[in-house]
Structure 1
Amino acid sequence: MLEKRRVAVFGAGYIGLVTGACFASLGHDVVVRDIQRERIDILQNGGVPIHEDGLAELIAENADRLTFTLDAEEAVRESDVVYVCVDTPPTPSGDADLSRIWQVIGTLREARHLAAVVVKSTVPVGTGARVRAAMDRGGLQHVGYASNPEFTAEGHAVHDFMHPDRVVIGADDPETAKLVAQLHEGVDGPVVTMDVASAEMVKLAANALLATKISFANEIATICEATGADVEHVVHAVGLDHRLGPHYMKPGVGWGGSCFPKDSRALRAMASNSGYSFQMLSSVIEVNDLQPRRAVQRLKDELDGVLADRTIALLGIAFKPGTDDVREAPSTILASRLLAEGAAVRCWDPLAPPLETAPWSVATRYATPLEAMTGADAVIIVTEWPELREVAWEKAAAAMARPLIFDGRNLLDAQQMGSLGFTYMSVGRRTVRGTA
């Protein structure tokens, strides 16, 4: 039988809100605390400040077990467990910025009633030991500490939380590990327990390996372009090998978001700080950084070596479909490079929020893909939004100044686009020139 707990979640972002809502759905009382007044105001008024499939419904269904506050003391006062879900952005050196972690720990000095403090934020290996030492110095020796890294993917994070491949719990005492496992009763997935340092490493290693698979697929795509092979056939056949699998073997204009870029750089920096040069991971990052730049160069070559005074439409701003997250999105590099070359940039995205900083402050945003493409010299598909499969592409070909597409996600059928009159470029496949 579930032992009901009161959980304080620090951080009302993509991880904190999903964590809080899912724990509430499991029967726990949850208070979510954040330092952004606007975000808390939205939540207190029944809204949700981010887009995540199923999250708004889950929060509404469990409103009687969810509260939101700006007050750290209020959040902790009656709680049994504190979950730390704040962001750890990269510093100029590539290391993770742990200042928000330490701010949360600093608020717990008087919280001697707590049973445990659990860090879900992605942190360098060794952070837990430092937090444990700080808690001990602050008189919280009796309060348990655990690492419970998240493995949810934006766009279906609620499902991933409730049906995970594994729940990883790092704790150096069995009672704390048991407590965190009990919090997850009702979650459909195996619980794996280990020491704190290993749990911290699991998160970084998993993201680095996933990023490696994508960058490897992009390297193979580049070779396919040079040899005439079709990368879609290649990765499909490779993925049928049960030792390898098809997941994340998808070429494109690069990965982005809040995890892969930050965590890859953090792991590389952590290795460097230990005196080890993580050359393979450095190559993975380099390949990813080049992908959007290669796309711009290929488009430039197709446009007779000139992008100045051309109009280019970018379809997709968010780093992946199903989310409004634009952090580290390849679209930002694409837009910046196009503008630097003298092109005019148009854009469309169904969920990305209004963006007031460069390069988006210079780009023109449209309500529909067709509007963004009208009069354009070329279009780049940046995000594989399913809506793009439903575009009236025949109308788009007629509306464009030049029917030229660079499909950065290999979303569309090359031969079909050629039959509609498009010059169709993609990643790791031959260019198809229009026949209409």
Structure 2
Amino acid sequence: MEEFNVGVVGAGYVGLVTGACLAHVGHRVRCVDKNEARVAELAEGRVPIYEPGLEELVARGRKRLSFSTDLPGAVRDSDVLFIAVDTPPGEGGSADLSSVGAVARSVGRALAEAERERAREKPLVVVNKSTVPVGSGDYVSMLVREGAQEVDGGNVPYRVVSNPEFLREGSAVYDSLFPDRIVLGAEKRDALDTMRALYQPIVEQSFPTQLDPRPRDAVPFVTTDLASAEMIKYAANAFLATKISFINEMAALCELVGADVTNVATGIGLDDRIGARFLNAGIGWGGSCFPKDVAALRAVAREYGHEPALLDATVSVNERQRKAVIQKLQRDLRTLKGKRVALLGLAFKPNTDDLREAPSLEIARLVNSLGARVVGYDPVAGKGAAAMLPDLKVVFDPYEALAGAHAAVVVTEWEEVRSLDPEKAASLMEDPKLLVDGRNVLDPAAALDAGLLYRGFGRG
């Protein structure tokens, strides 16, 4: 195996997972971030984000993994440099590339300064790991070139690669080490060859692992042009979001005709052209990826005068699901004024503390605006939610959240929520003891037998 010196700019969620996993498979990695407090925290072995397995992986990789604020040093010493900074939604839903652009220009300047001291044997491979719209590879290349020209006006040796991430929060370490596929886009063959060598231990699954048996013998390695690689990322997330919105549309119809969407999902999911994953009806999708990526894809479409009707409908159905929670509460509580409503789970999905675009936040605001008092439970995201919503009372025991509540909403399917004792829940709640199962994860019969008024999504 060829060992590489790797720089990762951005020690956030994607950058930190990427850096830790590349160090684990045998490369020397330096994670660079402008946040001095975060760098100091990581240098002391404290991981500032919650992701299962990440802290242990960082600890095991101490000999190969370092943290710094020195971007020029990382540019000078790296064979491959990943850009993994935020691309938040900008005006009209388009991706805000200001952080990516600032890094690219700084890389160009640093590369030119380093060339004054010593000529590189091979071009620096600059990798877009951030989720960026189509055309961003050319944009980054332009800014690297302009940054270099600010220093000496000459050319510097570099290549730009698109390498989109497909990490699921809550299983990001696993997804990095055992991915469904690795996608690379570039215009120069030597850049793709470098990236193939970098990822060889993962592609061939030749690195040490405690998982036995391994998920597969080899990982599909997809190479294409820059624009297609960038489009693959957006298309994948847009399709998954659409699949969730589709089953939620079916759930609405199931409620009208008396069918059970869980049985419908099982029946259609057995068709291998459809598949069973992402067919869970409920309050819809959120998080840092689906909302941002679908919005960015819609914005790109409109730049070219195209109306993305299917994507517009996907978003519309998802927005409706939040309102459906309120409608279910109002139907059985009549009025929310003076009522206590418990939200079970606050993070946008289990096994993460991420609250970006979390359904819980919108539901809490809506419930609170209608005069109810909201108490929220989450094992890891509670403190963050309390900071974002001062009117939200946060507790760290699901039964404490249920005590005195007239209604409860299952928002995030943490194991602690899935395994709730319905009889204990009913004994703690006030009439009508309404349980809105926003993820369809609880047993309706057991809930009804315990005296709870159960309302799911699309369950007849």
> Do they superpose with TM above 0.5?
yes
Amino acid at match of 1:127: S
| 1: CA distance, partners of 2:304 / 2:401 | 49
Aligned to 1:228: 258
Aligned to 2:396: 367
| 2: CA distance, partners of 1:216 / 1:174 | 40
Partner of 2:293, secondary structure, is helix
Aligned to 1:127: 136
Partner of 1:186, secondary structure, is helix
Partner of 2:175, secondary structure, is helix
Unaligned runs of 5+ in 2: 149-153, 206-218
The answer to whether residue 312 in structure 2 is matched with residue 282 in structure 1 is yes
Deviation, structure 1 residue 381:
0.4
Amino acid at match of 2:418: R
The answer to whether residue 201 in structure 2 is matched with residue 186 in structure 1 is yes
| 1: CA distance, partners of 2:430 / 2:87 | 44
Relative to 1, partners in 2 of residues 1:236 and 1:140: Cα closer, same or farther, differing over 3 Å? farther
Residue deviations 1:303-330 (CA, integer Å, cap 9, x gap): 12x1111110001110000111110000
Amino acid at match of 1:78: D
Aligned to 2:105: 106
Relative to 1, partners in 2 of residues 1:353 and 1:396: Cα closer, same or farther, differing over 3 Å? closer
| 1: CA distance, partners of 2:110 / 2:347 | 41
Aligned to 2:343: 314
Residue deviations 1:48-67 (CA, integer Å, cap 9, x gap): 11111111111111111011
Worse-matched range after superposition: 395-404 or 258-267: 395-404
| 2: CA distance, partners of 1:21 / 1:140 | 32
Aligned to 1:49: 48
Aligned to 1:434: none
| Structure with more helix by fraction | 2
Residue deviations 1:170-221 (CA, integer Å, cap 9, x gap): 0101100111111111114111100000000000000000000000000000
Contact 2:75 2:110 in 1 (8 A): no
Residue deviations 1:382-402 (CA, integer Å, cap 9, x gap): 001011133232122011112
Aligned to 1:241: 271
| 1: CA distance, partners of 2:195 / 2:337 | 57
Partner of 1:164, secondary structure, is coil
Deviation, structure 1 residue 412:
0.5
Deviation, structure 1 residue 162:
1.0
Aligned to 2:174: 159
Worse-matched range after superposition: 213-222 or 385-394: 385-394
The answer to whether residue 362 in structure 2 is matched with residue 333 in structure 1 is yes
Partner of 1:406, secondary structure, is strand
Amino acid at match of 2:337: A
The count of aligned residue pairs is 428
Contact 1:40 1:69 in 2 (8 A): yes
Relative to 1, partners in 2 of residues 1:348 and 1:357: Cα closer, same or farther, differing over 3 Å? closer
Q: How do 1:29-428 residues align onto structure 2 when only pairs under 5 Å count?
A: 29-108=28-107, 109-111=109-111, 112=115, 113=120, 115-137=124-146, 138=148, 139-187=154-202, 188=205, 189-304=219-334, 306-352=335-381, 354-355=383-384, 360-402=389-431, 403-428=433-458
Relative to 1, partners in 2 of residues 1:258 and 1:34: Cα closer, same or farther, differing over 3 Å? same
| 1: CA distance, partners of 2:386 / 2:36 | 22
Residue deviations 1:404-430 (CA, integer Å, cap 9, x gap): 100000010100111111100011113
Amino acid at match of 1:145: V
| 2: CA distance, partners of 1:355 / 1:80 | 37
Amino acid at match of 2:288: S
Contact 1:26 1:185 in 2 (8 A): no
Partner of 1:15, secondary structure, is helix
Residue deviations 1:258-317 (CA, integer Å, cap 9, x gap): 10000000000000011100011011011111111111111111112x111111000111
| 1: CA distance, partners of 2:410 / 2:75 | 46
Deviation, structure 1 residue 359:
5.9
| 2: CA distance, partners of 1:353 / 1:69 | 30
What percent identity do the matched residue pairs reach?
46
Deviation, structure 1 residue 242:
1.0
Deviation, structure 1 residue 358:
7.4
Residue deviations 1:347-387 (CA, integer Å, cap 9, x gap): 00011152377762111011200001100110000001011
| 1: CA distance, partners of 2:3 / 2:252 | 53
Contact 2:76 2:110 in 1 (8 A): no
Deviation, structure 1 residue 40:
1.6
Residue deviations 1:329-359 (CA, integer Å, cap 9, x gap): 0001100100111110000001115237776
| 2: CA distance, partners of 1:45 / 1:164 | 29
Partner of 1:245, secondary structure, is coil
Deviation, structure 1 residue 75:
2.6
Amino acid at match of 1:231: V
Residue deviations 1:101-134 (CA, integer Å, cap 9, x gap): 0111121123144521000111110111122223
| 1: CA distance, partners of 2:392 / 2:301 | 39
Partner of 1:280, secondary structure, is helix
Partner of 1:193, secondary structure, is strand
Aligned to 1:10: 9
Worse-matched range after superposition: 66-75 or 348-357: 348-357
Contact 1:382 1:408 in 2 (8 A): yes
Partner of 1:282, secondary structure, is helix
Contact 1:119 1:146 in 2 (8 A): yes
| 2: CA distance, partners of 1:40 / 1:141 | 29
Relative to 1, partners in 2 of residues 1:355 and 1:152: Cα closer, same or farther, differing over 3 Å? closer
How high is the TM-score relative to the length of structure 1? Answer: 0.96
Aligned to 1:433: none
Partner of 2:110, secondary structure, is coil
